[in-house]
Amino acid sequence: MSKLLCIIILYSNLCASTKIVNLNGEWIVSEDTNQYKNMKATVPGGIYSDLMNNGIIGDIFYGNNDVELKWIQNLNWVYYKNVSISSEFLNQENVNLIFEGLDTFSSIIVNGNKVGSSENMFVQYIFDIKKYLNVGINEIEVHFSSPVKVAKKLHEEQSKNYTIPPTCPPLEYNGECHVNMIRKMQSSFAWDWGPSFPSVGIWKNVYIEAYNDSVIRYVVSDVIDKDTDHWTLNVDIYMANNNKNQVTGRLKVDLETNLMNITKIIEVNGKPDENGEIMITIDMDILKGYVNSWWPNGYGASKLYNFDVTYVNEDKSDISIKKSRIGFRKIELVQEKLDLGLTFYFKVNDVPIFMKGTNEIPIDILPEKGQNKTRVKQLLIAAHASHINMIRVWGGGVYESDYFYELTSELGILIWQDFMFACAMYPTTDSYLKNVVEEVRHQVRRLYSHSSLAVFSGNNENEGALRQNWYNTAQNYSTYHEDYVKLYITTIKSEFLRITHNRGIFITSSPTNGKKSDSENYVAENPGSSLYGDVHFYNYILNPFNTNFYPTPRFSSEYGYQSLPSLQSWFTVTNNTEDTSINSIFMNHRQHHPLGNLELKALLLYFFDVPEESNKYFNEAFIYYTQIAQAFAVKIETEHYRSCRSSLEENGEGYTMGALYWQLNDVWVAPSWSSIDYLGRWKMLQYHSMEFFAPVIVTSRLKVDRILEIYLISDLPSPLMNLTISITVYNWNSCQPVNVENLTKTIESGSSQNIKTYNTDDYLSALGCGTLSSARTNCFFYLSVTKNEVKVSPDNFVFPDALKDSNITTAHVKIDDIRKISDAGVFIIEISTDQIALFVWLESLDIRGNFSENGFLMVQPKRVVFFNSEEQTSNDYLLKTITITHLLNQKYFTNE
Ligand SMILES: *[C@@H]1O[C@H](CO)[C@@H](O)[C@H](O)[C@H]1NC(C)=O
Ligand SMILES: *[C@@H]1O[C@H](CO)[C@@H](O)[C@H](O)[C@H]1NC(C)=O
Ligand SMILES: *[C@@H]1O[C@H](CO)[C@@H](O)[C@H](O)[C@H]1NC(C)=O
Ligand SMILES: *[C@@H]1O[C@H](CO)[C@@H](O)[C@H](O)[C@H]1NC(C)=O
Ligand SMILES: *[C@@H]1O[C@H](CO)[C@@H](O)[C@H](O)[C@H]1NC(C)=O
Ligand SMILES: *[C@@H]1O[C@H](CO)[C@@H](O)[C@H](O)[C@H]1NC(C)=O
Ligand SMILES: *[C@@H]1O[C@H](CO)[C@@H](O)[C@H](O)[C@H]1NC(C)=O
Ligand SMILES: *[C@@H]1O[C@H](CO)[C@@H](O)[C@H](O)[C@H]1NC(C)=O
Ligand SMILES: *[C@@H]1O[C@H](CO)[C@@H](O)[C@H](O)[C@H]1NC(C)=O
């Protein structure tokens, strides 16, 4: 066969390729002593979904089901399926049963023969089953053991030597113990934002593959900036065959570019190793002129090019294809010496980039539901709309679905990928480490090529936990330290660097001091130092509306405040109105963060007069107020970090180059740090993040001596000239400004600049706002940036005093009209007010959708907002069901 002919045949699928029998879909599940038997099951899936679908249990998210359904976790469950196999299929030389994900401990039986077992949720299991299959019907069984019991048993064994803490989570979590002993989603035994549902099941695709010669298992591609004219595409192709037969054939790589396809063909002739695996490397130089560079969100298009790798064996009877898309970009993590400390920032294509982003917890507490593309897409599209260019996939969850990483690559959202170890010490027995190596191999080979992947981190907070003795490890520090190095450095980092040819970016923990931690035997004296690496910063005691108490780290990778989800979301988990009170037993049950509800109350008191508990709108108002406090506090903290990108203080702090707030999403309806609740509803924080992460912002710092500094900040790659910064002062009693001061400024690319400083009291009292001590209660600042009368940043504001101490005139805010303006379901909402109104908040009670802005200040009597409806609806229906409120809504403060 000529080469041309084979390629034609190959692409018209006439050549024989790897054959697949898909085992997804309907299975049968039974409890192993037949208390529950022969129930229909769905694969991919899990036991909680199956029990719900069979009506054995109700909605796991309802009421107290998180504790009432604990019987499920102690049982063992067996999944069964019959599959018909043809003689043609079985004739192939290699026949494998492949589970992309088994959660977690199982034995796999084919026609009565045990073919293997699983012990790690994050590993892909491949079992050679050729000799166990028959032509005709075959029975496959997967026997799952209770993960809670296995974890306990492993803990008992380990404790004969020494204990690996923490043994149990705080009581408030209502969680399970010893999750650190097993390789399963660490938060499936509960977390401070989530319930315990230690699922078992086949949570990803399962199928049988058959082929004669060899298959391509993984294609790991890496883009290298070779010289000014060329990229090098380094491609490692991992091939496998069970019989360890010589692999002799042809590999073809095909890259689409702007001009033409670049193709390279190489002959393969090699012998697989003892695992039946062989790796072939192909390098291709690509002229930079042929491709556009890939850029993060906000810096240019995130262009991806189709890239196919095809294997054809010697007699052309067998082919295997892997398709992917790759982007051309260079990513660096820069840790360079400063007078004090080291920098810590990312450069993409040589441009230093301030990372604006968030932390992602698992998409769902049930891992199979986290594979839902609609859910992934809703979250990532929302993040993209907020100008987010980095998401940290947090180490207590799961390595997310292929789709998650494909979409982040498409949207220009870089990924900070933790390995799945969080808030614990971990074992280092030989079998445990062997298990971890399998996990690292599979996950790094699966994920590394995605253009969005920027950095891998060994764990979440374990460097700090060890150094600061969170789990009473101090007495035996050297043992735990040795374990730490063995796991994250000798095992994970080594394997990661081997796979990535020492090119991958790896930090050991988050937070960490980076290179400084490495030089201190991987556990720094102070892992939370502001002079090195990243920090996680939380404080629920001090006034969050005061910019002065926030640290000025190089990179803030976690910070945040809690709030409550909306009433509509609460009513999916209770039908009792009393449960929605912050003082209810139910709300206390759902709050896993110790003292969390008290902290929420205390937070509000810094700023607001909270309605009386006897007020009939108290629950609704309290929820709304927590969302204001969360949005406002995270906004102030984020703007603080952004304002510190260009300067170094005398104590060496500064050059802050990242702000990833905690947390994007939720896994149930509960008090939490999320900006989007479990039902997908946006909290006020989500709306505000679209503004505080905007490319150009104007913001302020109110210093302790009441000196007000105004900052202009730009993330844009080129300077902006001749901007008009309008600094308007309003008295709370009028929509007519007291004063407007216009400044003309130029802002350099990627910089933060102090453009004006005021003595607040002098300035406001001179404008007639009142005496030196009362002026700040009567007036506030309103900031906007325009160029040739066109806005280039969201408007901002400065409250010179706490709102509860300010002399605010009560507003009356209402919706005047709602009209559909496009067939795509966009409605215009006309709003009016008779006074300046604060945190004006719209909610669509019935129809799902999002507003163009929400939680905003109204300084003018009229404003329009757009509503993007996700469902069919009418003007009249929306007029009836969309509600509007604001900070000093009279109904919260009168008792009628
Ligand atoms: C598989 O087939 C066998 C024999 O027909 C039958 O006994 C068994 O119930 C079937 N199992 C499933 C899961 O359908
Ligand atoms: C695979 O090999 C078997 C025998 O080893 C042969 O019968 C079969 O035709 C081969 N399949 C293809 C597609 O070449
Ligand atoms: C017990 O722990 C020590 C480290 O303290 C380790 O060297 C040894 O291998 C462990 N023994 C067993 C049986 O796990
Ligand atoms: C070019 O490459 C792409 C992807 O690599 C492939 O799908 C396409 O068929 C190729 N086009 C030609 C003309 O070979
Ligand atoms: C995926 O999520 C969407 C949005 O929540 C939901 O409507 C849909 O039913 C889910 N799909 C599956 C297969 O569960
Ligand atoms: C809602 O409340 C009623 C009684 O108030 C109760 O009978 C019912 O079971 C509740 N609904 C659900 C889904 O639990
Ligand atoms: C900025 O303003 C100055 C003075 O009005 C003018 O000469 C210059 O062309 C302007 N530059 C830009 C880029 O608009
Ligand atoms: C509060 O505002 C009102 C007007 O809205 C004004 O008359 C009054 O003097 C202000 N109070 C103080 C203490 O400045
Ligand atoms: C200030 O600038 C804004 C925006 O360019 C403009 O509309 C306004 O007229 C200016 N006001 C004054 C007092 O110059």
| Predicted local confidence at residue 245, as pLDDT | 83
d(CA 92, CA 296): 45
Nearest to 504 by CA among 516, 491, 495: 495
Secondary structure (3-state) at 860: coil
Return the ligand 8 atom nearest residue 770 CA.
Answer: 14
- How far is residue 636's CA from residue 638's CA, in Å, rounded to a whole number? 6
The CB of 543 under 6 Å from ligand 2? The reply is no
Asked if residue 482 has its Cβ within 6 Å of ligand 1, the reply is no
* Ligand 3 centroid from CA 429, angstroms: 8
pLDDT for the residue 9:
38
- Ligand 9 centroid vs 728 CA: distance in angstroms? 10
So which residues are the catalytic ones?
Answer: 461, 558
Indicate if the alpha-carbon torsion angle 65, 70, 71, 73 is positive or negative: positive
Topology agreement, domain 3-207 and domain 813-893: no
Confidence of residue 732 (pLDDT cuts 50, 70, 90): very high
pLDDT at 131 over 70: yes
- What pTM did the predictor assign? 0.96
The span from the CA of 12 to the CA of 6, in Å, is: 10
Burial class (CB in 10 A: 0-12, 13-18, 19+), 224: middle
377 has pLDDT over 50: yes
**Which of the four pLDDT bands, split at 50, 70 and 90, describes residue 36?**
very high
CA-proximal residue: ligand 6, atom 11 (nearest) = 575
Q: Among 12, 308, 310, which is best to mutate for testing ligand 4, by the most ligand atoms less than 8 A from CB?
A: 308
pLDDT exceeding 70 applies to what percent of the chain?
A: 98
Q: Is the pLDDT of residue 3 over 50?
A: no
Pocket test of ligand 4: the residue of 261, 262, 265 to mutate, having most ligand atoms within 8 Å of its CB, is: 261
What pLDDT, on a 0 to 100 scale, did the predictor assign at position 12? 40
* Residue 250 · residue 278 · CB < 8 Å: no
Site to substitute for ligand 9 among 720, 724, 792, most atoms within 8 A of C-beta: 724
Confidence band for 328, pLDDT divided at 50, 70 and 90: very high
- Give residue 431 CA to ligand 3 midpoint distance, Å: 12
Residues with CB under 6 A from ligand 6: 62, 575
How does DSSP assign 47-115, residue by residue? HHHHHHHTTSS--TTSTTHHHHTGGGGGS-EEEEEEEEE-HHHHTSSEEEEEES-EESEEEEEETTEEE
Q: Which pLDDT score, from 0 to 100, does residue 8 have?
A: 38
Q: Is residue 761 within 8 Å of residue 773, measured between CB atoms?
A: yes
Indicate which residue's Cα is closest to atom 13 of ligand 7: 721
Class of domain 331-692 (CATH, top level): alpha beta
In DSSP terms, which residues pair with 106 in a beta bridge?
118, 144
DSSP-assigned letters across all residues of 539-556: -SSS-TT-GGGS---S-E
Ligand 4 contact, 254 CB (< 6 A): yes
Cβ–ligand 1 distance for 80 under 6 Å, the answer yes
Residue of 82, 83, 84 best suited for mutating to test ligand 1, as the one with most atoms within 8 Å of CB: 82
Q: Is 314 in the pocket of ligand 2 (CB under 6 A)?
A: no
Of all protein residues, the one whose alpha carbon is nearest to atom 7 of ligand 9 is 789
> Which one of 203, 372, 379 would you pick to mutate in the ligand 5 pocket, going by the greatest count of ligand atoms within 8 A of its CB?
372
Give 582-612 pLDDT, tens digit per residue: 999 999 999 999 999 999 999 999 999 999 9
pLDDT digits (tens, 9 = 90+) for 164-217: 999 999 999 999 999 999 999 999 999 999 999 999 999 999 999 999 999 999
**Ligand lying nearest the CA atom of residue 578:** 6
Q: Which ligand is nearest to the CA of 681?
A: 5
Ligand located closest to 680 CA: 5
Of 463 and 10, the structure prediction assigns the larger pLDDT to 463
CATH classification for the domain delimited by 696-805, as one of 1.10.3720.10, 3.40.50.920, 3.40.50.300, 2.60.40.10: 2.60.40.10
Q: Is the omega angle on the peptide bond into residue 872 within 30 degrees of 0, that is, cis? A: no
Rounded to whole angstroms, the Cα distance separating 378 from 383 reads: 9
pLDDT tens-digit profile of 455-471? 999 999 999 999 999 99
Query: Residue 435 is which amino acid?
Result: N
pLDDT at 64 over 60: yes
Write down the pLDDT at residue 314.
85
Q: What is d(CA 878, CA 383) in angstroms, rounded to the nearest whole number?
A: 26
User: How remote is the CA of residue 373 from the centroid of ligand 5, in Å?
Assistant: 8
* Residue 409 confidence class, pLDDT cut points 50, 70, 90: very high
Q: What are the pLDDT digits (tens) for 561-579?
A: 999 999 999 999 999 999 9
Pocket-forming residues, ligand 8, beta carbon under 6 Å: 733, 770, 774, 778, 807, 809
Q: Which of 3, 13, 252, 254 to mutate to test the pocket of ligand 4 (most atoms within 8 A of CB)?
A: 254
**Would you place residue 7 in the very low, low, confident or very high pLDDT band (cuts 50, 70, 90)?**
very low
CA of 393 to the centre of ligand 7 (A): 45
Give the Å distance between the CA of 122 and the centre of ligand 3: 26
State whether the beta carbon of 495 lies less than 6 angstroms from ligand 2: no
Say if residue 6's pLDDT is above 50.
no
Cross-strand bridge partners of residue 331: 348
Q: Delimit the domains of the chain by residue range.
A: 3-207, 213-326, 331-692, 696-805, 813-893
Dist. CA 139 → ligand 1 center (Å): 7
- Residue 2: per-residue pLDDT: 34
Asked whether 831 and 840 are in contact (CB, 8 A), the reply is yes
Question: Can you read off the two tokens belonging to residue 176?
Answer: 């399970």
Give the separation between CA 752 and CA 715, rounded to whole angstroms.
9
Ligand nearest 53 Cα, by number? 5
Atom index in ligand 4 nearest the CA of residue 254 equals 5
Name residues contacting ligand 9 (CB within 6 A): 724, 726, 740, 742, 786, 789
pLDDT in tens, 93-124: 999 999 999 999 999 999 999 999 999 999 99
Give me ligand 2 centre to Cα 90, in Å. 10
Q: 213-326: what fold?
A: Immunoglobulin-like (2.60.40)
Instruction: Specify the ligand 8 atom closest to the Cα of 774.
Output: 14
Instruction: Indicate if ligand 4 lies below 6 Å from the C-beta of 31.
Output: no
Tell me the per-residue pLDDT of 337-354, one tens digit each, with 9 for 90 and over: 999 999 999 999 999 999
Q: Per DSSP, what are the bridge partners of residue 326?
A: 305
End-to-end CA distance of the chain: 88
Question: If DSSP states are collapsed to H, E and C, what string results for 658-713?
Answer: EEEEECCCCCCCCCECCCECCCCCECHHHHHHHHHCCCEEEEEEECCCCEEEEEEE
Q: Which CATH architecture has domain 3-207?
A: Sandwich (2.60)
- Residue-wise over 850-879: b if at least 16 C-beta within 10 A, else e? bbebbbbbbbeeebebebebeeebeeeebe
Residues in the chain: 896
Q: Which ligand is nearest to the CA of 737?
A: 9
Asked whether the beta carbons of 441 and 240 are under 8 A apart, the reply is: no
Tell me how crowded residue 521 is: count the other CB atoms within 10 A of its CB: 11
pLDDT digits (tens, 9 = 90+) for 602-660: 999 999 999 999 999 999 999 999 999 999 999 999 999 999 999 999 999 999 999 99
Backbone angles phi, psi at 257, to 5 degrees: -130, 180
Q: Is the CB of 635 under 6 A from ligand 1?
A: no
What 3-state class would DSSP assign to 14?
coil
777 CA from centroid of ligand 8 (Å): 9
- Which atom in ligand 4 lies closest to the alpha carbon of residue 261? 1
Per-residue DSSP letter, 612: P
Mean per-residue pLDDT over the chain, rounded: 96
Residue 692, pLDDT > 90, answer yes
Reported as a single tens digit per residue, the pLDDT across 293-308 is 999 999 999 999 999 9
- Cα 807 to ligand 8 centre (Å): 6
> Domain 813-893: which topology?
Immunoglobulin-like (2.60.40)
Q: Which atom of ligand 6 is nearest to the CA of 58?
A: 13
Separation of 161 CA from ligand 3 center, angstroms? 6
The set of residues, in sequence order, having a beta carbon less than 8 Å from that of 729 and lying 6+ positions away, is 737, 738, 739, 740, 764, 767, 769, 779, 780, 781, 782
Alpha carbons 466 and 471: distance in angstroms, whole number: 8
Taking the mean position of all CA atoms in its chain, how far away is CA 818? 35
**In this predicted structure, what is the pLDDT of residue 16?**
55
CA distances from 203 to 25, 146, 151, 178, 392 (A): 12, 15, 19, 22, 23
- Looking at all shown ligands, the one closest to residue 379's CA atom is 5
CA of 420 to the centre of ligand 3 (A): 23
Query: Do residues 77 and 200 lie in contact, with contact meaning Cβ atoms separated by under 8 Å?
Result: yes
Of the ligands numbered here, which is closest to the C-alpha atom of 486? 3
In DSSP notation, 434-454 reads HHHHHHHHHHHHHHTTSTTEE
